[in-house]
Amino acid sequence: MGLMESLDRGLLPSRSMNRVTTTMMTSKAKTLPSWALLFVVVCASSCEGAHDNRPACAGSPIPACPGAWTSTLPGVHTELTPARCTFTVREATAGLDVPFTVVAETAVADVQPSAYIFPSCSQPDSSGFQTFVAVTGNGQSYCPECDDHFCADPFRSWLSLDVGCVQGSVHWEALNWSGPGSAGAVNAKGGAFPPGDYLLEIHQVGQAGTDNKFFEMTASMTLTLTP
């Protein structure tokens, strides 16, 4: 399986936009929400930080759990923003949607999100990015895109970000799973995660700018399962 360093860097269109839009190759443009920015961190090329107890933008969720983020997309980063970070095993095995917020402190045009593991069958979520999620710890692993069919024709999209915030979420079932499978194989979901602490990580990657420069944004936090 190839990582993002193997991205085809010749597919970014030469154009610009002046609104927050997600333009899918097979669908109409979709306007994304944005709010006035309240808390920003300026990064020239690479940046990292920690979540605090303030909303990133007016109207966006207040982070309730400690977490961290990194970004090589100047002026943009992603924060995990769940309302809580402790769940019962029963809740988590039934499935959880963990929200995140993409924070843009500067407008960025010509962004081409891509799958973290390439090529895969992932598609953009409501944030406009193809968000990779993995939850690991205590010998357990949930990684739905680690073995994800490896599509011969991966989904492509382009977006531009206004100053503000865009919301999204990732799905986690506290079951051992490496994805649906590839080359005709089908991976069944395994046993449930036992009580304990687990690391949730998300990755958003792609190319940006007229020079098609590779970027990666990550966010992480610890989630706790109780009996």
User: Which pLDDT belongs to residue 156?
Assistant: 73
Helix (H) or strand (E) holding 4: none
Predicted local distance difference test score (pLDDT) of residue 16: 26
pLDDT score, position 41: 35
Compute CA 218 distance to the chain's CA centroid, rounded to the nearest angstrom: 7
Per residue in 15-57, pLDDT (tens digit) is 222 223 332 222 222 332 332 222 333 344 567 777 555 666 7
Asked if 182 contacts 148 with a C-beta cutoff of 8 angstroms, the reply is yes
Convert the pLDDT of each residue in 105-120 to its tens digit: 999 999 999 888 766 6
Ordered by start, the domain boundaries in the chain are 62-226
Residue with tokens 């994800």: 148
Q: In the chain, which residue ranges form alpha helices assigned H by DSSP?
A: 89-94
Determine the pLDDT at residue 149.
61
* CATH classification for the domain delimited by 62-226, as one of 3.60.15.10, 3.40.50.11540, 3.60.20.10, 2.60.40.3880: 2.60.40.3880
Where would I find the beta strands (DSSP E) of 83-195? Answer: 86-88, 96-104, 108-114, 132-137, 140-142, 157-161, 164-172
What pLDDT was estimated at residue 14? 27
Spell out, as residue ranges, where the chain has pLDDT lower than 50. Answer: 1-44
Cβ neighbours of 204 (radius 10 Å): 28
